[in-house]
Amino acid sequence: MTDETVSKAVRISPHLSTDGQGFKQLMEAALAWLQRHQAVINALNVYPVPDGDTGTNMVLTMQSAWTEIKDSPERSVGRIVHQMAHGALMGARGNSGVILSQIWRGFARSLDGKEVYRAQDLAAACREATTTAYKGVVKPVEGTILTVARAIADAATRAVEETEDLVRILEHMVFAAHEAVMLTPSLLPVLAEAGVVDAGGQGLFVILEGMLRYMRGEQVAEDGQLVQSVDLITTGLEPGEIGYGYDVQFLILGQELDMDAIRQKIVEMGECPLIVGTPDTVKVHVHVSDPGVPLSYGASLGSLRDVVVEDMQAQYKDFIVNSELSRSTSSQISQEIGVIAVVLGDGLARVFQSLGVGAIVHGGQTMNPSTQDLLDAIEKLPAKQAILLPNNGNVIPTAEQARALSTKPVAVVPTRSIPQGIAALLAVNYQADFETNVAAMAEAMEEIETGEVTTATRSATINGLEIADGQIIGLHDGELKVTGTTVEQVVCALLKEMNQTQREIITLYYGDTVSESDANALADLLQQEWPDQEVEVVAGGQPHYLYVLSVE
Amino acid sequence: MPEVQYWGRIEVSPTAIASIANEAVLTCYGVVGTAAKGLAAGIVNVLSRDSKRGIEVRIEDGRIIIDVYVIIEYGTRIAAVALSVMNVVKFSVERALGIPVTEVNVHVEGLRVSDTD
């Protein structure tokens, strides 16, 4: 979330070969990732027949391929791929499914008899896959999955001249696939008219992206089960959860540029990093939430050329909106949903920003924002619909008032704490419509339990607990539950109160009066106490509360 | 088939419909050619680009019925390809003419084997 806590996959050694079992895992990841994107791909489907089933057909085809190999102990990649291709053929559904099965058929033929595949084998297999796919039609139509397949094969062929690392090569392939998909509307007018990219091409891109995510140790399946652990280490947040953010590309012109150092740095910054070039020209591509970070870094090394920054969220939404519009004008469309969060503290504001919040209104405990503050934020928000996250019980009535007064459609997801707000924000799906999002956010918010630790400002008796002025007190979901003389004591008692053994992640947001080393020391203590849970520390910078805790 | 308008008529001949269908079929993935009905596999015009011999259009009681005779690439799932031929032909003709197509019958006249595996 903050710079300290976001760390990305750290690669240890290059991945030089893939055997049958390795490929099996790639297929599983590809299928899982494709399933997650099925609805989006369906929505893109306008060619050849706009029946909105491309995603479903590709998933069913991949499922059939996967079923064929999922229990196979086969170690030879040639045989596994052959079985998989057979499965794809037998289960091919729809136009895109048939093409996909031909792609796998060519891929399999090229790997026939191989125990493992290496860089050159992969490139050859991709070329054969493309050739086979093109053979299946008299008049190949460009701007479809075929075009994307060819771009992938070309990229693989070029990549193997530079590296033998299969992860790198796959990065190039995914990058090329993405570019080819983006170009499909310029090749196929019907796509441009509908304002979409080709659905099948997008599907193929997603399949490769799923494989790449797996190889990089990023999350693929929704339950987070499918994570590579062999030669990759992942820690921290899943970058994919943050959303799309910006697609940043630029060239660095300089002298004796250190590609490895640049790569390492860029990989830390965001998703889908791609760093290629020579010591005096380096091409950088990365998906980040803040485009300024990679750009400033690049500028510190040399002069920048061909800077392209694209808002992927907007692009994506445009596609969805247009394709929905072309089909039905009555259905609810998720056009430009913006989220407004009420947050106190710079650190927490940064956390919300990194998660893609549309606007932040400063306020919270003892500093409630006015209805006008919220209204202003709603009106200024460049979105048609706004979702408010009050993040404090006292702010909810104000938010409701703002909702009633606004001219835009506004929903209030009644988050009572910062952790609830974060959970709700993570549940936002910009491809889904307004109601679905509000429901999903409200549900996600319930999954989180919040603890707050602060110092009593007066003596009182609440909930049968006697509190003295200056004592440390702990609240669980807004209710006073524990008191004590030391912070550690209260935090531990509070976590016990929160029944946290059932949960997986403890997050500590430390306040403006707490030092980072104190927070880390407390985190270490908690980690010893609860070795099975993951403890994360985030600089919240909130006033009043020494610590805000969340367990999920 | 005639479509009566206030100021006159537009007639679209079955041959024109066949041309539309033929174009659609040839861009359809998995189809490597059309074939004249009933011809032996050896002499079919596998790569016929402009021939409409593989398409038969009949108008019965104002309903359009299209029969397509195709050669399909060996190694594809024939049922899936045939289904997609039906969809594509129906969609293309209806989009071009605005008249519903009642039936599209796909006859697989042969397979082209370009690779065996």
CATH number of the domain to which A280 belongs: 3.30.70
pLDDT per residue, tens digit, chain A (552 aa), is 333 333 334 444 678 999 999 999 999 999 999 998 888 888 888 888 777 889 999 999 999 999 999 999 999 999 999 999 999 988 888 889 999 999 999 999 999 999 999 999 999 999 999 999 998 888 888 999 999 999 999 999 999 998 999 999 999 999 999 999 989 989 998 888 888 889 999 999 999 999 998 888 777 765 544 433 222 222 222 333 334 467 787 878 888 888 778 888 887 887 767 776 667 777 777 778 788 888 888 888 888 877 777 766 555 444 444 433 333 322 223 346 788 888 887 778 877 877 777 788 887 666 777 777 888 888 877 777 888 898 888 788 888 888 887 888 888 888 888 888 888 888 887 777 888 888 888 888 888 888 888 887 667 776 677 777 778 888 888 778 888 888 888 888 888 887 766 677 888 888 888 888 888 888 888 888 888 778 888 888 887 788 888 887
Q: Report whether A136 contacts A98 (CB < 8 A).
A: yes
From A50, which residue of chain B is nearest by alpha-carbon distance? Answer: B91
Q: Report whether A95 contacts A48 (CB < 8 A).
A: yes
Both A73 and A150 in a single domain? yes
Q: Where are the domains of chain B?
A: 2-112
Shortest Cα distance from B109 to chain A (angstroms)?
A: 16
Both A35 and A175 in a single domain? yes
Angle A487-497/A516-529 helices, nearest 10 degrees? 40
Q: Which residues pair with A465 in a beta bridge?
A: A462
Both A167 and A184 in a single domain? yes
Q: Which residue has the tokens 């593989």?
A: B54
- A89 and B75 within 8 Å at the Cβ level: the answer is yes
In a domain, A490, yes or no: yes
In a domain, A408, yes or no: yes
Q: Which residues pair with A251 in a beta bridge?
A: A283, A305
B10–chain A Cβ distance below 8 A for any pair: no
E strands, B1-117, are 2-5, 8-11, 31-34, 55-60, 63-73, 101-112
B115–chain A Cβ distance below 8 A for any pair: yes
> Which residue did the predictor score with more confidence, A6 or B48?
B48
B95–chain A Cβ distance below 8 A for any pair: no
In a domain, A237, yes or no: no
Pairwise CA distance, residues B114 & B117, whole Å: 10
The pLDDT-based confidence of B38 (bands split at 50, 70, 90) is: low
Both A402 and A312 in a single domain? no
> Pick from A138, A12, A353, A188: which is nearest to B45 by CA?
A138
Both A112 and A176 in a single domain? yes
Which domain range does residue A357 map to?
Answer: 332-446
Both A350 and A273 in a single domain? no
B20–chain A Cβ distance below 8 A for any pair: no
B73–chain A Cβ distance below 8 A for any pair: yes
- A95 and B29 within 8 Å at the Cβ level: the answer is yes
Pairwise CA distance, residues A324 & A330, whole Å: 9
Pairwise CA distance, residues A16 & A18, whole Å: 7
| Set of chain A residues whose Cβ sits within 8 Å of the Cβ of B80 | 92-94, 97-98
In a domain, A301, yes or no: yes
Domain boundary among A308, A329, A350: A329
B116–chain A Cβ distance below 8 A for any pair: no
Domain boundary among A274, A300, A329: A329
Q: Report whether A283 contacts A293 (CB < 8 A).
A: no
Pairwise CA distance, residues A300 & B106, whole Å: 64
pLDDT of residue A236: 27
- B32 and A93 within 8 Å at the Cβ level: the answer is no
In a domain, A495, yes or no: yes
Of B73, B91, B114, the CB nearest to A49: B91
In this predicted structure, the answer to whether residue B89 has a pLDDT above a threshold of 90 is yes
Amino acid at B61: D
- For residue A28, the number of C-alpha atoms closer than 13 Å in the C-beta half-sphere is 21
B54–chain A Cβ distance below 8 A for any pair: no
Shortest Cα distance from B60 to chain A (angstroms)?
A: 26
| Secondary structure (3-state) at A383 | coil
- B33 and A138 within 8 Å at the Cβ level: the answer is yes
Q: Which of A138, A147, A198, A204 to mutate to test the interface with B (most CBs of B within 10 A)?
A: A138
Both A480 and A521 in a single domain? yes
Both A217 and A359 in a single domain? no
Pairwise CA distance, residues A418 & B89, whole Å: 56
Other beta carbons within 10 angstroms of residue A290's beta carbon come to 16
Whole-complex ipTM: 0.75
Provide the residue count of chain B: 117
For the residues of A154-221, what is the DSSP string, one character each?
A: HHHHHHTTT---HHHHHHHHHHHHHHHHHHHHHH-HHHHHHT---HHHHHHHHHHHHHHHHHTT---S
In a domain, A5, yes or no: no
Both A113 and A149 in a single domain? yes
> Pick from A150, A190, A183, A151: which is nearest to A45 by CA?
A190
Structure tokens at A225: 């089960």
Domain count, chain A: 4
Other beta carbons within 10 angstroms of residue A207's beta carbon come to 24
> Which residue did the predictor score with more confidence, B38 or A303?
A303
Q: Which residue has the tokens 């086969």?
A: A74
Both A319 and A391 in a single domain? no
CATH of the domain at A347: 3.40.50.510
CATH of the domain at A498: 3.30.1180
In a domain, A1, yes or no: no
B11–chain A Cβ distance below 8 A for any pair: no
Domain boundary among A204, A232, A260: A232
- A98 and B84 within 8 Å at the Cβ level: the answer is yes
> Pick from A350, A441, A348: which is nearest to A387 by CA?
A441
From A89, which residue of chain B is nearest by alpha-carbon distance? Answer: B77
Q: What CATH homologous superfamily does B2-112 map to?
A: Cation efflux protein, cytoplasmic domain (3.30.70.1350)
From A141, which residue of chain B is nearest by alpha-carbon distance? Answer: B27
- B27 and A51 within 8 Å at the Cβ level: the answer is no
